[in-house]
C-alpha cells in the first residue's frame, strides 16, 4: 500500500495516537525518509556482518543485545559492520530501554542522515506498539458517505441516497440509547484482512447535520456515553425509497453481503415509506444479527420446521396434500 508516512511522523504522532516515548538524538536531516512498510527489523545479523536479505527499508530496533554489541565493539574491527549498515537508506534506528548509543554511532548516523531515536519503553513494549501503529498506518483504507452507529453492540453502517433520512435515523437511535460513531463522512480501514473498522474524520467527529436545525454536537447534547471513536462494521443497512415494483426480501433465508476493501459484510435493503418506524426496524435487525453471529437463524429455523411439518403423517393424509 502506498503511503507518505515518514520518520518525522513517528515523533509527531507519539503521545497522540500511540505511546512510543521517543526522541531523536542524531541524524535529524534524515527525518523526512519514508517508512515504506510495516515490518520491523532487529539488525543482529547485520551487526555480525551478514547483510544478505538485510531488511534495510524497515525500522531498525536495537534491544539490549544490539546496544551492548555496539558499545563493546566501537574500537574493534566488528564496528566496520556498523559503518556498513548505516550506509543503507534506513528509515531510522530506535534504541529501546532508554539506551543511548556511543558518540561514534551517532557521528556515523549524522554523516549518513540516519535518524537515531531513543525510546524509554522496553524492547517488547516498543515492538508491540510499533506493530500496532504501523499496522494502522498501512491498513487498506477508504472513505464513504453514510452514518455509522452502534446498536445493541452491533456496528451498523447506514447507507442511502442524499435526503432519505440517514442522519435522522442515526439521531433517533442515539435518542433511544445507542451510540454514534460517525455521520456523513466515514473512514473505513481493513485490519489484519478480517475486520472492517469505521470511524469519523477528526474535523466532524461527534457532529451531525440535521436539515432544518443545522450542525449539532451529539457528545455535548447527549453526553459522552452517546458516542464512541470507532467501531467494527458488522452490518450494512441501505435505506431505499419504497418501490411497489421492486422485490424486497420477505423471508431472509439467503444472506446477502456487500464488499468493502475486499471483505464481505452482511447487507440488508430496507424500504422506507411514510409511517414505517425505521429505528425500530434497525434495532430488530441488530438483535437478529447478534443471533446469527451465535449460529441462530430464525428464517432458516422456520423453513426447517415448515418442511418437517409437511412431512408429518397428519399433513400427508390431509385433503389438501393429496388433492391433484
Interacting residues of 95 by C-beta distance below 8 A, sequence separation 6+: 62, 67, 101, 116, 117, 118, 119
pLDDT tens track for 277-318? 999 999 999 999 999 998 888 777 776 776 776 666 565 566
In a domain, 282, yes or no: yes
Residues 6+ apart with CB under 8 A from 263: 190, 193, 194, 195, 196
Catalytic residue list? 145, 166, 184, 250
Stated as kind and residue range, the H or E segment containing 130 is: helix 123-137
pLDDT digits (tens, 9 = 90+) for 71-121: 999 999 999 999 999 999 999 999 999 999 999 999 999 999 999 999 999
DSSP-derived secondary structure letter, 58: S
Model pLDDT for residues 15-25, shown as the tens digit of each residue: 766 789 999 99
Domain that includes residue 227, residue range: 141-245+278-290
The predicted structure's pLDDT at residue 243:
87
Asked, for residue 303, whether it belongs to a domain, the answer is no
Single pTM value for the model = 0.77
Percent of the chain clearing pLDDT 70 (strictly above): 92
CB of 98 within 8 A of CB of 120? Answer: yes
- Is residue 2 in some structural domain? no
Pairing state between β 263-272 and 235-241: parallel
Average pLDDT rounded to a whole number, residues 264-287: 94
pLDDT at position 245 is 86
Q: What would the grid cell of residue 96 be?
A: 529501546
In what helix (H) or strand (E) does residue 306 lie, and over which residues does it extend?
helix 298-310
- What long-range pairs does 73-77 form, CB within 8 A, spacing at least 24? 74/102, 74/104, 74/105
101 and 171: one domain?
no
Question: What is the tens place of the pLDDT at every residue in 157-182?
Answer: 999 999 899 999 999 999 999 999 99
Helix (H) or strand (E) holding 207: strand 207-210
> Does 150 fall in a domain?
yes
Task: DSSP letter for 138, please.
Answer: T
CATH (domain of 11): 3.40.1390.20
Amino acid at each position: 500500500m502506498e503511503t507518505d508516512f515518514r520518520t518525522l511522523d513517528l515523533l509527531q504522532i507519539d503521545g497522540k495516537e500511540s505511546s512510543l516515548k521517543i526522541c531523536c538524538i542524531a541524524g535529524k536531516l534524515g527525518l523526512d525518509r519514508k517508512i515504506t512498510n510495516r515490518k520491523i527489523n532487529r539488525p543482529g545479523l547485520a551487526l555480525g556482518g551478514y547483510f544478505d536479505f538485510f531488511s534495510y527499508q524497515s525500522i531498525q530496533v536495537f534491544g539490549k543485545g544490539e546496544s551492548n554489541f555496539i558499545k563493546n565493539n566501537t574500537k574493534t574491527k566488528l564496528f566496520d559492520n556498523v559503518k556498513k549498515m548505516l550506509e543503507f537508506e534506513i528509515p531510522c534506528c530506535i534504541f529501546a530501554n532508554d539506551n543511548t548509543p556511543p558518540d561514534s554511532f551517532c557521528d556515523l548516523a549524522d554523516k549518513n542522515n540516519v535518524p537515531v531515536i531513543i525510546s524509554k519503553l522496553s524492547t517488547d513494549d516498543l515492538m508491540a506498539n510499533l506493530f500496532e501503529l504501523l499496522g494502522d498506518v498501512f491498513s487498506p483504507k477508504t472513505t464513504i458517505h453514510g452514518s455509522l452507529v452502534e446498536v445493541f453492540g452491533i456496528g451498523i453502517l447506514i447507507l442511502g441516497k442524499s435526503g432519505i433520512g440517514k442522519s435522522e435515523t442515526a439521531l433517533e437511535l442515539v435518542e433511544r440509547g445507542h451510540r454514534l460513531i460517525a455521520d456523513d463522512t466515514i473512514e473505513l480501514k481493513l485490519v489484519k484482512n478480517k475486520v472492517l473498522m469505521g470511524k469519523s474524520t477528526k474535523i466532524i467527529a461527534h457532529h451531525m447535520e440535521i436539515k432544518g436545525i443545522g450542525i449539532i454536537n451529539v457528545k455535548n447534547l447527549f453526553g459522552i456515553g452517546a458516542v464512541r471513536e470507532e467501531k467494527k462494521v458488522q452490518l450494512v443497512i441501505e435505506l431505499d425509497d419504497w418501490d411497489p415494483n421492486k422485490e424486497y426480501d420477505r423471508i431472509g433465508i439467503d444472506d446477502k453481503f456487500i464488499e468493502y476493501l475486499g471483505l464481505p459484510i452482511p447487507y440488508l435493503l430496507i424500504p422506507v415509506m411514510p409511517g414505517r418506524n425505521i429505528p425500530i426496524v434497525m434495532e430488530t435487525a441488530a438483535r437478529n444479527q447478534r443471533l446469527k453471529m451465535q449460529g441462530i437463524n430464525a428464517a432458516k429455523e422456520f423453513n426447517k420446521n415448515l418442511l418437517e411439518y409437511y412431512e408429518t403423517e397428519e399433513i400427508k393424509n390431509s385433503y389438501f396434500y393429496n388433492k391433484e
